[in-house]
Amino acid sequence: RNLDRRAAEIQEGLRRNHLQTSDAIEAAFAATTRSAVAVIAAINTEIAQLEAALETSFGEHPDAAIYLSMPGLGEILGARVLGEFGDDPNRYTSAKSRRNYAATSPLTRASGKTRTVTARYVRNNRLYNTTIRWAFSSLTTSDGCRAYYDERRTKGDRHYQALRALANRLVGILHGALKHRTLYNEDTAWAHRQPTIDTIAA
């Protein structure tokens, strides 16, 4: 955000007169700075190579097209979701079991007349965090996702509660798409909520 303005401010600050130190100290700091820049450049190169390899491998997977059709999922995030869920078609017997593994579904405890609903804290954190990022990314690519999130916020959910609910919904949609070998379709996924979506979009 405001990168150009921030860069100009940094450059202006660097051009100002500063207190002088010894030549030896200046040389030491210059050497460490050059070294740090070289390390960062090398790391960025390695990251780019790994991303390219990941995109190639992911693109060859038979489920890739289904994952990439989901709103909010690109090659990197989609590959992470696939990697954490696995690709065994018989591993999850239902959308509920997939949601439970992702820990996006709430945990209900009942004792007598007392009933509490909480988030699942015993979970695969890598998968859970990825589904939350997925839900957040979907807000700008899907009217249905945006409407669902906004409705949850209107009903009193906090930001992360609404994202978790949306992630839970998306995991269920993904399960159905994988089961029936179909790509994501916005109208089909949110058909039962179309009046709400149309109202918010208007």
Taking CA atoms, 64 is separated from 61, 130, 198, in Å, by: 5, 17, 30
Q: What is the pLDDT of residues 31-51, one digit of tens each?
A: 999 999 999 999 999 999 999
Domains of the chain, residue spans = 3-57, 63-201
Residue 200's pLDDT is: 44
* 136 Cβ neighbours under 8 A, 6+ residues apart: 72, 163
Residue 21's pLDDT is: 79
Which of 77-81, 113-117, 133-137, 149-153 is predicted with the least confidence, judged by mean pLDDT?
A: 113-117
**From start to end of 21-126, where are the E strands?**
107-111, 114-118
Residue 193's pLDDT is: 66
Which of 12-16, 45-49, 192-196 is predicted with the least confidence, judged by mean pLDDT?
A: 192-196
